[in-house]
Amino acid sequence: MNKQRSHSLETRVAQACHYIDEATGGINPPLQLSSTYARGPDYEFTGDYSYSRAGNPTWAVLESVCADLDGGVEAQCFASGMAAVCAVFETVEPGQHVVAPRIMYHGSQDWLRRISAKRSIELTLFDAADGEALERAVQPGKTAVVWIESPVNPTWELIDIAAAAEAAHRAGAVLAVDATVSTPVTTRALEFGADIVFHSATKYLNGHSDVVGGILVSAADDDRWQEIKWLRTFMGGVLGPVEAWLLLRGMRTLFLRFEKASASALEIARHFEHHPRLEQVLYPGLESHPGHDIARRQMTRGYGGMLSLLVKGGADAARAIAANTELFLRATSLGGVESLIEHRASVEGPHSSVPENLLRLSIGIENCRELIDDLEQSLDRL
């Protein structure tokens, strides 16, 4: 595979790093469904693969594009975002310490709470809105992993990745960044000093709401990375080759989709910013957003397609607005071509710390005017 590093990232991703199949000249990778690979009479391997839980050629193409996309040494794909998240935290030893934001993707936090309760791993949750809270939370010599999202889901506060990397490294920890929402289109976390980047590939990377998958990308081929590889093989949370193939196909249009979603989300955020039925529109691209200065530094190519509305009238009013949309689909998830709306506290359940009146919107690639009209009619019906 020719990586063509002299070309721009969007060109490289559109061409899957100028992929040409050596055997056929095909410009898409073949889909290799074999679970196992024949060996010679003395059990020597005849090719690069032995068994598909340990590796397969469809992953190899996908992983090489993902490593390039984030600028890491290597990538690994997993059966879901959560399988990848769990693999990272599986490297933390009892007695060590993990730091993460108080508001973040609830599934990752639920997992952290579980390992903290079961395995004597100390967990500190910090307030992402307080710029110094992360620095205070790390414990030199004890913190193993600092895990952040930027922007955090679903209030979209920004965490300064470079400052987080410095704080983590001073304490002897690694910084892992959940880049599901920002994507490397606009923020390449490794360039800001992160050690590991994580994506729920279910979201923007795939972009069509038809694959569940996870990706990790590492800045270094170190012991932790080797352990994560081992864990993937032996815990078995591996991506099926069909999903790997579909994911790579979806990724080729990542830049187009993300840029369209970002442009529409900004227009929608501006349109509704002072709407009389809303308390606040949370979107990092708005100048009124508390994290806007960090967003301008860190999000170099659009502020993404995710925004939240804080509705006047509490949970009931928020739920009614979501119930009345005709174009926005009521479903959880994000980063697909279709726009979604969800009352986040209902989706997260009784332990949610998300404001009761918050509606989370994932903006897709539809006609932006029609999306605005749909929200307008829904707000009018309140």
Ligand X SMILES: Cc1ncc(COP(=O)(O)O)c(C=O)c1O
Binding mask 332-371 for ligand X (x = CB under 6 A): --x-------------------------------------
Task: Verify whether residue 369 is a known catalytic residue.
Answer: no
Region label for 224, one of left (φ > 0), alpha (ψ between -120 and 50) or beta (otherwise):
alpha
Q: Judge whether 382 and 371 are in contact, CB under 8 Å.
A: no
* C-alpha dihedral, 259 to 239 to 65 to 1, nearest 10°: -150
Tell me if 200 contacts ligand X by CB under 6 A.
yes
Residue among 32, 64, 76, 80 that touches ligand X (CB under 6 A): 80
Residues 208-237 that bind ligand X (CB under 6 A): 212, 214
Instruction: Supply the minimum distance, in Å, between the C-beta of residue 45 and ligand X.
Output: 32
Distance between CA 211 and CA 78 in Å, rounded?
Answer: 12
Q: Which of 56, 143, 180, 357 lies at the binding interface for ligand X (CB under 6 A)?
A: 180
Mapping DSSP to helix (H, G, I), strand (E, B) and coil, where does residue 151 land? coil
Q: Which one of residues 63, 68, 157, 178 is an interface residue with ligand X (CB under 6 A)? A: 178
Give the pair of three-digit tokens for residue 159.
């965490």
Nearer to ligand X, 116 or 139 (CB): 116
Q: Is 189 exposed, middle or buried (0-12, 13-18, 19+ CB in 10 A)?
A: buried
Q: What DSSP element (H or E) covers 145?
A: strand 143-149
**Is residue 176 close enough to count as binding ligand X by CB under 6 A?**
no
| Residue 202 makes contact with ligand X by CB under 6 A | yes
Residue 80 CA to residue 85 CA, distance in Å, equals: 9
For residue 355, give the amino acid letter: P
Return d(Cα 351, Cα 334) in angstroms, integer: 21
Min dist CB 379 to ligand X, Å, is: 26
| 53 in active site | yes
| CA end-to-end distance (rounded Å), the chain | 56
Q: Is 187 in the site for ligand X (CB under 6 A)?
A: no
Radius of gyration of the chain (CA): 21
Closest-approach residue to ligand X (CB): 81
Q: Quick one: 181 or 311, whose CB is closer to ligand X? A: 181
The residue count for binding ligand X (CB under 6 A) is 16
Q: What is the DSSP letter of 190?
A: G
Residues in the chain: 382
Residue pair 252/353 in contact by the 8 Å Cβ criterion: no
Nearer to ligand X among residue 17 and residue 158 (C-beta) = 158
**By CB under 6 A, which span of 2-10, 31-39, 173-181, 259-267 interacts with ligand X?**
173-181
Can you read off the two tokens belonging to residue 193?
A: 């000093």
133-152 residues near ligand X, rule: CB under 6 A: 149
Least distance (Å) between residue 4 CB and ligand X: 29
Q: Which of 160, 178, 195, 374 is catalytic?
A: 178
Residue 105 appears among annotated catalytic residues:
yes
Nearer to ligand X, 278 or 345 (CB): 345
* Distance of alpha carbon 375 from alpha carbon 368, whole angstroms: 11
Determine phi and psi for 51, rounding to 5 degrees: -160, 135
The residue (of 149 and 160) whose beta carbon lies closer to ligand X is 149
Indicate if 221 belongs to the active site.
Answer: no
Q: Which of 37, 59, 89, 105 binds ligand X (CB under 6 A)?
A: 105
Q: Is 185 in the site for ligand X (CB under 6 A)?
A: no
| Positions marked active-site | 53, 105, 178, 203
**Residues at the interface with ligand X (CB under 6 A):** 80-82, 105, 107-108, 149, 153, 178, 180-181, 200, 202, 212, 214, 334
